[in-house]
Amino acid sequence: MRAASVSDYRELARRRLPNIFFEYIDGGSYAEETLRRNVADLEAIALRQRVMRDMTKIDMSVETLGQTLKMPVGLAPVGMAGMYASRGEAQAIRAATAAGVPFCLSTVGVCSIEEVAAAAKKQGGTPPWFQLYMLKDRGYMRELLARAKAVGCPVLVFTVDLPLPGSRYRDMRSGFTGGTPLQTMMTQAWEGVSHPAWTWDLFARGRPHTLGTVQDAVKGGRRVTDFLAWISRNFDRSVTWKDIDWVRESWDGPIVVKGVLDVEDARAAVKAGAQGLVVSNHGGRQLDGVRSSITALPKVADAVGGDLEVYMDGGVRSGLDVLKALALGAKACFVGRPWAWALGAGGQKAVEKMLDTLRAELAVAMILTGCTDVRSAGRELLDRD
């Protein structure tokens, strides 16, 4: 199948990847109500078609936190991307660099922050934005911040909606979590045998299979699951807004708070000195039953959009969705599953093509709504009747 849309990359990834990794990318928490809302609520928003306007020139570029983006899209942090394709995070940042958009590296990426930064710099790109959780081990967290600063990461993305991992039933059903070590080993062995193309790619070219940035924290760790267990034990439920001050002691660059749905939390982020926030419910992977990101966005943007940069993630599946989010107050959208699906389907080239698809779809949406500049996108682009 030749991919024409984001949903096509999802199907191609489903065919190529072992089930345990596809379900990890694809699934949400509990009954996945929020996961479905993220997509459905975006689909329910109608764009306002306008005609007979001179749309010879359109401008998709935006400036944010000292960077110029060729389009208002970024690659959101996705854990374990190096298990979807060999050295997956490095492939993804090369695709992002080619497209002129930012890539945000997850703390739990297979490739280390140094490897990903080097991959970007090799082709004249910008090092990744770095996503970090508040960890109980503050000493090691300070080391991570120093490493991010040393390689030139321009932005710290501080994820605040994960004081503990959400319960993801799909991971239990697939055998990724919840089984005995023997059951897990047998499941992974069978998945490898039954997906030879993926196995060759990952085991011939993709080693080591650790979480590179936190590798030194887990003595004797050999498998991805060893490092995920360490991260899970180190999530800190005691974190408050005052901890942003502690982060500031080691980080003097922009801080973006990721995982905000509530207006009061958005105002707290402003008071804490954040330069940006991501309206996000963690892709429906944490607290199920909450509102979708797109329905939370307008109130947050109205409340704090003049004080910091407001981004959004969750449910974005097309360039049309990007324009809808911009119209409701986002400066840019971050996509997670779309680039992970594309990476799993075909590596860097597929991620590049997926981003080209988003760009082409955004162009069509702009032209047929009469929007010549994404920076001026507003609610007049939406059909509210």
**One-character DSSP codes across 26-81:** H--STT-HHHHHHHHHHHTPPB----S---S--B--EEETTEEESSSEEEPP-TTG
Residue 159: its H or E element: strand 156-159
In a domain, 384, yes or no: no
**pLDDT 10s per residue in the chain (385 long)?**
899 999 999 999 999 999 999 999 999 999 999 999 999 999 999 999 999 999 999 999 999 999 999 999 999 999 999 999 999 999 999 999 999 999 999 999 999 999 999 999 999 999 999 999 888 888 999 999 999 999 999 999 999 998 888 889 999 898 887 766 656 666 776 777 789 999 999 999 999 988 899 888 777 666 666 777 777 788 888 999 999 999 999 999 999 999 999 999 999 999 999 999 999 999 999 999 999 999 999 999 999 999 999 999 999 999 999 999 999 999 999 999 999 999 999 999 999 999 999 999 999 999 999 999 999 999 999 998 7
Check residue 18 and give its pLDDT.
94
Total number of domains in the chain: 1
As given in the structure block, the two tokens for residue 367 are 């032209």
Cα 344–chain centre separation: 15
Check residue 232 and give its pLDDT.
77
Check residue 182 and give its pLDDT.
58
In a domain, 381, yes or no: no
- Please tell me whether the peptide bond between 208 and the residue prior to it is cis, using omega within 30 degrees of 0: yes
> What DSSP state is assigned to residue 273?
T
CATH of the domain at 317: 3.20.20.70
Helix then strand then coil, in percent of the chain rounded to 5, is: 50, 10, 40
pTM of the model: 0.95
Check residue 236 and give its pLDDT.
86
Amino acid at residue number 360: A
In a domain, 71, yes or no: yes
- Adjacent-strand bridge partners of 89: none
Residues serving a catalytic function are 282
In a domain, 382, yes or no: no
Is the dihedral angle over the CA atoms 214, 217, 223, 229 positive or is it negative? negative
Check residue 221 and give its pLDDT.
66
In a domain, 310, yes or no: yes
Residue 221's φ and ψ, nearest 5 degrees, are -70, 130
Rounded Cα distance between 5 and 361, Å, is: 10
Range of the domain at 364: 6-376
Check residue 222 and give its pLDDT.
65
Strand bridging mode 67-69 / 62-64: antiparallel
In a domain, 385, yes or no: no
Amino acid at residue number 263: V
As given in the structure block, the two tokens for residue 171 are 């991971």
